[in-house]
Structure formats: C-alpha cells, structure tokens
A and B are shown apart, each in its own frame.
Chain A
Amino acid sequence: MRFENLREVLLASGIAPRHVRRYLAELSEHLDDLTRQQRDAGYDAEDAASRARARLGSDTELASAMLQHKQFRSIATRAPWAVFLLLPPVAGIAAAFALIAPLVLAAHIGRMTSPHGILAPLWFQQTASAVTLLGNLVLVPLLAMRFVMLADRQRMARAWPLLAVALLVLLDLQFQADFPPPGHRGGSLGIGAALWLHHPGNLLNTWPLALVQLALTLLPVLYLCWTRKRIV
C-alpha cells in the first residue's frame, strides 16, 4: 500500500485517522499527477515514478509538515485520560439509559405503570426481554470493542484500552426485566451498575451471567493482542 510507513508514523504520533486518510488520499492523487507529468517529459515508468516520489517529499518531510499542526491530533492522544479513564463509565451509563429509555417511555405513554407495578402486554414483555439480553450481553462488549479499536487505530499503548475495559468490567452494568404472566400486575424493569459493591453475595446467584458478560467484555482484549502481534 502507498505511504504505509507515513501512515504508521502519523497515527503513532497522534494524528486523527480521518486527517491521515485525507492527507494520504491527496498525496496519492498528487503523486499520480506528478508521475504523469514525468512520463510526459519522456521518462520511462520506473524513472517517472521515482522522480515523482522524490518531488513529493520524503516521508520525514511529509510527516513533519503534518505534525506541525497540533489541531490535527485526535482527542484520544491529546487527552487519553479523559477518553480511557473518564469516558468508559460515562459512556456505559449513558448507553444503558439510552437503551432502556424508550421502554420506560412506552410504559408511561401506554399507561402500563402504577404503584402496584407494570401491567405489561405480551409485546412489551418480549421487547423488554430482548432489550435486557442486548444490554447484558452485547452493549458492554461493544463499548469495550470501541475503546480497544480507538486505541488500536492510534497505535496507543495497550495500557489505555486495558484500563477502559477494566473500568467497564468494574461498572458491571446489569439489565433486569421480571414480569408475571400477561394480564397480571407486577414485575419490574431496571438497570443497575456496580452491584457487586453493595451486594457481593448476589454474585453467587448470578455468576453464570456475570461470567459470560466478563468473557464477552474481555474478547476485544484478545483482538488487541492479535492485532499488535500482526503489526509487530
């Protein structure tokens, strides 16, 4: 691939991937124009390519020109502590609320709630079960994957994504939906975070789910190890 070394230097130096992509795309178009110019001047394909590449500038020169502009650095590299330390719990809680909010809204609008619990029709119960499953098994692993990929794209030290994943594990987001058979009042729908802090005994009852959640959340870490090996 063209400019592969330059790409690695720019990403590892903290330039945001979108700026790197655009820079390399324009360099590539420029190189095509230069090569065509050299061919028109009478050079054979090999000479034209090497003369064009020399006129474009060395990798060091091209990287240095980009690195002078600090505004092209990504937030992840400018403030990794904010992205990998503060953001994971905030993103986890926000995503959990975003996932469950439509259900809560639907329950209120549909007048399903009362002081005695929810009187939920079958469709609501099925939707709530699906959301719970999604929240318990997909949401946190997806978030973990997002942080791992973010760090991987910028070639950042492994410690940052590992920190984010560890925080997500400790956040221990739990979705719960319990309903009696349709037509009966009662049941509940809720989310909890870091329940192990206040009710460590609950882990004895919920360990199979906790173990599956943990395994899924740690999967992106394997991806990280694999990609780093591949790059090295």
Chain B
Amino acid sequence: MASDFSALSSGLSELMVLRLLQRQEMYGYEIVQAIAERTAQVLSPGEGVVYPLLHALEKSGALKSRRKTVGGRSRIYYSLTARGAKRLAAMADHWSALNGAVGMVLHAV
C-alpha cells in the first residue's frame, strides 16, 4: 500500500538529506539511520537507494564528498555546499507552502 503513495514522498528524501547535511558532514549509513530515527521509521525505503541521490546531488554541486578514515574504517563523507544551502532554503520554503496548502484542504470543515 505504501508504494501507492510513493509519488507523495518523492523529493522528500532530497529535502531531508540536505537538511541533515546542513548541520554536519555524514556518511551514507549515518544519513539513513538519522532519517529513519527522525521520521519514526515512517520514511524507511531500502537503505541503499540513498546513494544514487547523494551522487546526483554531488554531481549537481549541492554536495561535496571526501573519503575519511574514522576508527580504522574508511568512508565517504558528504557535506553541503553553498549551492546546496540555497537549494535547501528554496525547497524548504516550497515544502512549507505546500504543507500549509494541503493542511488547509485536509482540515477544512
């Protein structure tokens, strides 16, 4: 049933990834765990699907990446760029407007 509503959540992953990376650099596993935790598992697709999104955002200049070794494990860490910050601000504004508009329809008497 959830897949019937996948169109509704398209674009949300990008918004959440950009928001999470605004605070600190993270690697893929951390990002996915943070999304699942902060959305109370409501948004938990196959965890691996986050990587094509990360790569696409990096290619568009919204993210940058670097390989870093922490605790003996080498991982690719992603962080937000200035372009990514602008994109996040625009997406967040759009999402707030959309959320408000949908809310008005759903809660209309």
Contacts and interface: CB of A to CB of B under 8 A. Distances in A.
A62 B51 CA distance: 9
A186 B51 CA distance: 64
Contacts of A72: 52, 55-56
A71 interface: yes
Nearest to B53: A65
B46 A29 contact: no
Q: How large is the interface on A (under 10, 10 to 19, 20 to 34, 35 or more residues)?
A: 20 to 34
B8 to A, nearest CB: 17
A29 B75 contact: yes
Nearest to B56: A69
Contacts of B75: 29
Contacts, number: 59
Nearest to A67: B52
Nearest to B10: A68
B51 A26 contact: yes
B49 A23 contact: no
A65 B14 CA distance: 13
B51 A57 contact: no
Contacts of B27: 29
B103 interface: no
A65 B32 CA distance: 15
A19 B75 CA distance: 16
B72 interface: no
A62 B28 contact: no
4 nearest CB pairs, A to B: A57-B46, A65-B49, A61-B46, A33-B29
14 contacts: A26-B76, A29-B73, A30-B47, A30-B48, A33-B29, A57-B46, A57-B48, A58-B46, A61-B46, A62-B48, A62-B49, A65-B49, A65-B53, A69-B52
Interface of A: 19, 22-23, 26-27, 29-30, 33-34, 55-58, 61-62, 65-66, 68-69, 71-72
